[in-house]
Structure formats: structure tokens, C-alpha cells
Amino acid sequence: MPSLNVTFTDEEMEGVRAAAAAEGKSLKQYLHDLGVREMQRKRFVSGAVSWADRLRAEFDEAFPDEVPPAQRGEGATAA
């Protein structure tokens, strides 16, 4: 497996070390787990978007007066 060099500023490294210590993990294990969690998060988000897209037409039919936040004018609020 190839190794990877990643650089951090002193301030960033201090924060990463503190986060690893707070979880009771070594720096190496913390960084590994962080990468794995990010992969899992992206997979979850992708699945959630796919699920929402499949249900969008049904929701729009059931709630025709609801306007998605992205399509609201400035200052508009939900019904």
C-alpha cells in the first residue's frame, strides 16, 4: 500500500493531535478513521439524494403549495 505525506501547519497539527487524543486514538488511527468516515458520509449523502429524487414527484403531488428553499425568493418563508 503506498504511503502518503500530508503536511499541516503547527496550529492544524495541534488541533488534529487534540482531536485524536479526545477520541483516545493514535494520530495514525485517527487519520485513517477520518478518511473512512468521509467515504461513508459521501456514500450516505449520495444514497439520501437518490432516495429524495425518487420521492420528489410524490411529495410535490402531495404538497403542491410547498416551495423548495432553493426556489424561494429572498425573504420568503415556508407556508
Listed in sequence order, the residues at least 6 apart from 76 whose beta carbon sits closer than 8 Å to its beta carbon are 67
Task: Please report where in the chains the cell 478518511 appears, as a residue.
Answer: 35
pLDDT at 10: 97
pLDDT digits (tens, 9 = 90+) for 9-56: 999 999 999 999 999 999 999 999 999 999 999 999 999 999 999 998
C-alpha cell at 67: 416551495
77: pLDDT strictly greater than 70: no
pLDDT band at 58 (very low <50, low <70, confident <90, very high): very high
Query: Cα(54)–Cα(47) distance, rounded to whole angstroms?
Result: 11
Full-model pTM: 0.60
